[in-house]
Amino acid sequence: MKKINLLGATGSIGTQTLDIIESNPELFTLTAMSAGRNMKKVSEIIAQFKPQLVSVMEKADADRLQAEFPNVKIVHGDEGLIEAAVGIEADVLLNSVIGSVGLKPTLAAIAAGMTIAIANKETLVAAGDLVVQAAKRHQVPLVPVDSEHSALFQALNGENEKRITQLIITASGGSFRDLTRDQLQHVTVEQALAHPNWSMGNKLTIDSATMMNKGLEVIEAHHLFAMPYDQIECLLHKESIIHSMVEFEDTSVMAQLGSPDMRVPIQYALTYPDRIPMANAKRLRLDEIGKLHFEKMDFERFRALSFAYDAGREGGTLPTAMNAANEVAVQLFMEGRIPFMKIEDIIEQMMDQHQTISHPDLEEILETDRVTRKKVYGIVK
């Protein structure tokens, strides 16, 4: 029986993780969890899965929950998030919070020797070197949950990593893939949130529309697979059937395919290196799909992707600043306070202004994150 502490339990990945736990009660149990503000859903999850510890964002919500569930330990805030990660002994931390707020709990779980199933890409972007070094030091596996990285991880199974020539990350293109930059000027939040292939949380869907999501994933891949940026390619593939590929020195390419269903990579992260049947899954029928399409990635059209390569190549605190700028800009766009195209401008401006620290410690990373967020709010006022 694998004990799972789940951060971000009411989000898209969190909900699908709970599906997998529910379908396999003899294999998995939920020991602790965190959530934000969706208290109705939190109550339902506690009643059904009976975790021992629950963390929520606000103290008032925590007090109400404690009255409702006197036998569950209820905590809140940033400290509560860390408790949800490590306060109850477990085998796996599945971290699916959105944003760099996931960094501290991840580091705490690594120090506690837990396997990390990582869906929280911003943590690897903001502090990839620190997280990977800590995982090595504590001999803790970092297992990817993101579909592209799970595909790469699966394609690398049993391979000699020295023989890799390229990681090829596929991109669906997001909700605006067929629009020109001119047409992007007046797009709305509702249009941005309508992703053609994947049903995901709002932040991730906006990141897909700007292509920053793919940029974050390039940096994530760099850290997870110790691969130089020159050997990480992105390929536009609108059907999202090939989830990513690895090319080797003999020109062989290994790909992982499947219907777009996030439960597959989530479950694989929990059962690795084994596999188990997937409840209610749609099997891949290539004869029904017929054709798959591929296009070269246009860096002029998707500027955010080139920002991410630039930030990744420079390293240090620049990816931290880029990520913080993006997180706030996406929030401001969703609140209707800036137009879509302003997201890129804000990221570019914050990267230009940032003085990179080459080998930052945790405090310097957290400070970069704080200062950049503050600056973005400053320019929008």
Burial label for 19, CB within 10 Å (0-12, 13-18, 19+), is middle
Contact segment (CB under 5 A) with Mn ion among 81-89, 138-146, 167-175, 183-191 equals: 138-146
Closest contact distance (angstroms) between CB of 187 and Mn ion is 21
Containing H/E element for 369? helix 362-380
Contact segment (CB under 5 A) with Mn ion among 14-22, 38-46, 48-56, 142-150 equals: 142-150
Contact segment (CB under 5 A) with Mn ion among 140-148, 258-266, 283-291, 312-320 equals: 140-148
The residue number whose beta carbon is nearest to Mn ion equals 146
Closest contact distance (angstroms) between CB of 207 and Mn ion is 9
Closest contact distance (angstroms) between CB of 330 and Mn ion is 16
Closest contact distance (angstroms) between CB of 217 and Mn ion is 6
Please state, in angstroms and rounded to a whole number, the distance separating the CA atoms of residues 126 and 326.
Answer: 11
What per-residue string of b and e applies to 225-246 under the rule 16 or more CB within 10 Å gives b? bebebeebebbbbbbbbbbbbb
Pick 61 or 146: Cβ nearer Mn ion: 146
Contact in structure between 1 and 22 (CB atoms under 8 Å): no
Q: What is the DSSP string of 117-157?
A: EE--HHHHHHHHHHHHHHHHHTT--EEE-SHHHHHHHHHTT
Q: Where are the alpha helices (DSSP H) in 165-201?
A: 189-192
The strands making up 115-118's β-sheet, listed across from edge to edge, are 73-76, 53-56, 28-34, 2-7, 92-95, 115-118, 142-144
Pick 208 or 368: Cβ nearer Mn ion: 208
Pick 146 or 327: Cβ nearer Mn ion: 146
- Determine if 220 is a binding residue for Mn ion (CB under 5 A): no
Closest contact distance (angstroms) between CB of 208 and Mn ion is 8
Please state, in angstroms and rounded to a whole number, the distance separating the CA atoms of residues 279 and 237.
Answer: 27
Pick 106 or 244: Cβ nearer Mn ion: 244
Backbone angles phi, psi at 307, to 5 degrees: -60, -45
Pick 195 or 303: Cβ nearer Mn ion: 195
Closest contact distance (angstroms) between CB of 146 and Mn ion is 4
Pick 32 or 145: Cβ nearer Mn ion: 145
Contact characters 233-252, Mn ion, x per CB under 5 A: --------------------
Pick 69 or 198: Cβ nearer Mn ion: 198
Contact characters 92-131, Mn ion, x per CB under 5 A: ----------------------------------------
Please state, in angstroms and rounded to a whole number, the distance separating the CA atoms of residues 111 and 1.
Answer: 22
Closest contact distance (angstroms) between CB of 98 and Mn ion is 13
Pick 61 or 122: Cβ nearer Mn ion: 122
- Among 366, 378, 365, 373, CA closest to 326: 373
- Determine if 146 is a binding residue for Mn ion (CB under 5 A): yes
Containing H/E element for 233? strand 232-236
Pick 122 or 148: Cβ nearer Mn ion: 148
List the interface residues with Mn ion, window 306-365 (CB under 5 A). none
Contact in structure between 106 and 93 (CB atoms under 8 Å): yes
Q: Which residue has the tokens 């606000």?
A: 58
Closest contact distance (angstroms) between CB of 326 and Mn ion is 15
Q: Which residue has the tokens 């596999």?
A: 275
How many amino acids of this chain bind Mn ion (CB under 5 A)? 3
Closest contact distance (angstroms) between CB of 371 and Mn ion is 28
Contact residues for Mn ion, defined by CB under 5 A: 146-148
